Amino acid sequence: MSRSLTLLPLTLALAAALPTAALAADARKATITVGDTPLISRAALFGNPVKSGAQLSPDGQWLSWMAPVNGVMNVWVAPAAKPEAAKAVTDSKDRPIPGHFWSGNSEQLLFVKDNAGDENFRLYGVDVKTGAQRDYTPFDKVRVRMMGTSRKRVDEVLVGINNRDPRWHDVHLLNLKTGELKLVMKADGFAGFQTDEDLQVRMGARPNAAGGIDYFQVKDGAVADKPFLSTNLEDNATSPLGYTADGKTLYWMDSRDRDTTAVFAEDTATGARKLIAQDARADLGATLRNTLTGEVQAYAVDYLTTEWHFIDKSLKADFDWLQQQLGKGEVFVASRTRADDKWIVGIDPVSKVSATYLYDRKAKKLSPLYVARPELQNAPLVSMHAVEIKSRDGLTLPSYLTLPQGADKNGDGKAEQAVPLVLLVHGGPWARDGYGYNGTHQWLANRGYAVLSVNFRASTGFGKKFLNAGNKQWGLAMHNDLIDAVDWAVKQGVTSADKVAIMGGSYGGYAALAGLTFTPTTFACAVDIVGPSNLETLLGTIPPYWEAGKKQMYSRMGDPTTDEGKAILRAASPLYKADQIVRPLLIGQGANDPRVKQAESDQIVQAMQAKNIPVTYVLYPDEGHGFAKPNNRIGFNAIAESFLGNCLGGRVEPLGETVRASTAQIVHGADFLPGLKAAAEKK
């Protein structure tokens, strides 16, 4: 949820006389058959991929990727000329390594890892030749941030470490060969810094009272007395994109004097700006940069789908050739060598399994590396359809609809019969849904549900009017957008009004709680994953290193330091309307979540228990903000699938051993879901 700078008394009385089991029985009678589509196993969708995240070393000599070691995702390395000789260079046994990247000298592989989901990430490095591993930031309860890398000073990087004051990430110069850390400058009050190829801090960003950012010039560690650029809350998306290699040009994404952010090139000597790219539909900021000069070669427009526009025509020629070779779908470049002669590329065909390749630009040769999930190659995957939905007050909500095969036999995205629908709400809320392969969409559609993901107001990427229309609208207009999307789906014949579930994580979890409390009879049931129930306690327990973003969160949600703000937050908190819940609720929570603390789930469960309202609550003692371990991810989705099947009547793969194989603790409500108690109690 941070801006990584990635909630009728008469009805209640009726619900008391109509327990969950009765509602579920009615749903089972109304089960809709959607053809003879084979069931895709949850393990195939949510288990570990065979390989993922391939990268090339800057010198092009090495390949790396993520792959399991004894069931845990680790980093593997191979000579680029001999991928079959790959060896694991890490041996994490307790928790998957989330990803990795190369040092500038191509001698170290770097990665971060936390403890049981607490998000206190440490930075580690592995010497690819000797296999020696080093903990570069051996500090407890400290979170490291990467701040700068260089093509010139390849043995060093800049990192931010909050070991002096947990609120601020001081800038340190790290020597990757010796492990020496040297303090460059303290970060008191600063949200972040911009650095150049000489690993010099050139700019500091400090939040201001207007909910925006003040940008200061920095020279030799000294911060200028006055900002050279300031934004307010409305233009908070304005931010630097980085310097060219010579330091003479600074790229910006800027929304001032316009609605959507455009890309500008600023002459650092004169301050003169040149417009590089703009689009009235979507914010711009994603670019491809020259690997040597740092100049922008292409930019992406991501409205309903991603469209690449090329400034460098040679790059366009490569993309055109790759598209011709790889077929339908979005071509993506995951990694490039410094000489830019070799790329890691792939294609996202949405309804087919994507593959990853090594691309030799000079030889125009594609060498297959892997298919991340080969077990899905013959699976009945379906298409995703981009749609525009109008809100009640006239906003256009870019959204994504996936239909099960039996409901859309010709694949045109138009429902031929109404089926139950799952409204899948994204987190953030200052984030967005996008077009592409989505395992959750595929899973739910395979079970017989239509799936709808909506970019409601406050979602990012669609201009500042759209973003700022969500200010202080949690549980209000933001929730109305979701309801309007459900109404659209009913009118389109996608579903019927009594067969809609709401599901999501983080803000999406809040939306699920808000769905059952603010609109108690709109949804047949809800799945809340790590969602806040009380916005006052949410803001009161955010991690200390979010200090720089507090003002923006207060401005967008409600200021808990004022009576007016407290009233807004309280009115938007599902906790205080828990007694309104009349439909089945499933909650999943990580015990170590630093963003949405366990208390957020505990307190609404306790409030429901006090009113004898059924709720099923599953706690994972070794997880944080979401479920990173595949056994827990598969296990919770098994429970959610059984829950949705009980509520909406979709197809269900048996629970089997999935709950026992996870660390799930059924804190409350095992009896409310058939088979769950038996599936869990033998652990």
Average pLDDT in the 223-241 region?
Answer: 96
Mean local confidence (pLDDT), 297-307: 97
Average pLDDT, the chain: 93
Which ranges constitute the DSSP H helices of 108-150? none
- CB hemisphere CA count around 614 (13 angstroms): 23
d(CA 513, CA 511): 5
C-beta of residue 603 within 8 angstroms of C-beta of residue 129: no
Residue numbers annotated as active site: 506, 593, 625
pLDDT for position 192: 95
The helix or strand, by DSSP H or E, that contains position 638, with its residue range, turns out to be helix 630-648
Give the pLDDT band of residue 14 (cuts 50, 70, 90).
very low
Confidence of residue 411 (pLDDT cuts 50, 70, 90): confident
Q: What is the pLDDT of residue 682?
A: 58
How far is the C-alpha of 117 from the C-alpha of 624, rounded, in Å?
4
**Separation of alpha carbons 302 and 314, rounded Å:** 22
Whether residue 520 is preceded by a cis peptide bond, meaning omega within 30 degrees of 0, is no
Query: Is 231 a residue whose pLDDT tops 50?
Result: yes
The answer on pLDDT for 163 being more than 60 is yes
The average pLDDT across 334-349 equals 97
Report whether 508 contacts 449 (CB < 8 A). no
Q: Is residue 35 very low, low, confident or very high in pLDDT (cuts 50, 70, 90)?
A: low
Closest CA to 441 of 307, 510, 346, 348: 348
| Type and span of the H or E element at 397 | strand 396-402
**CB within 8 A of 592, min separation 6: which ones?**
115, 116, 117, 118, 621, 622, 623, 624
C-alpha 242/C-alpha 250 separation (Å) is: 6
Is residue 543 pLDDT above 60, yes or no? yes
Note the helical H segments in 424-506.
Answer: 439-446, 464-468, 477-491
> Would you say residue 23 has pLDDT above 80?
no
Quick: pLDDT tens for 550-566: 999 999 999 999 999 99
Q: Tell me: pLDDT of 364 over 80.
A: yes
Single-letter code of the amino acid located at 135: D
Say what the pLDDT of residue 399 is.
Answer: 98
Give the residue among 527, 393, 548 at the shortest CA–CA distance from 449.
527
Mean pLDDT of 530-546: 97
Distance separating alpha carbons of residues 641 and 447, to the nearest angstrom:
8
- What was the pLDDT predicted at 681? 80
Q: Identify the sign of the CA torsion 618, 624, 630, 631.
A: negative
Q: Model's pTM, two decimal places?
A: 0.93
| Three-state SS at 85 | helix
Segment 145-166 mean pLDDT? 96
pLDDT band for position 34 (50/70/90)? very low
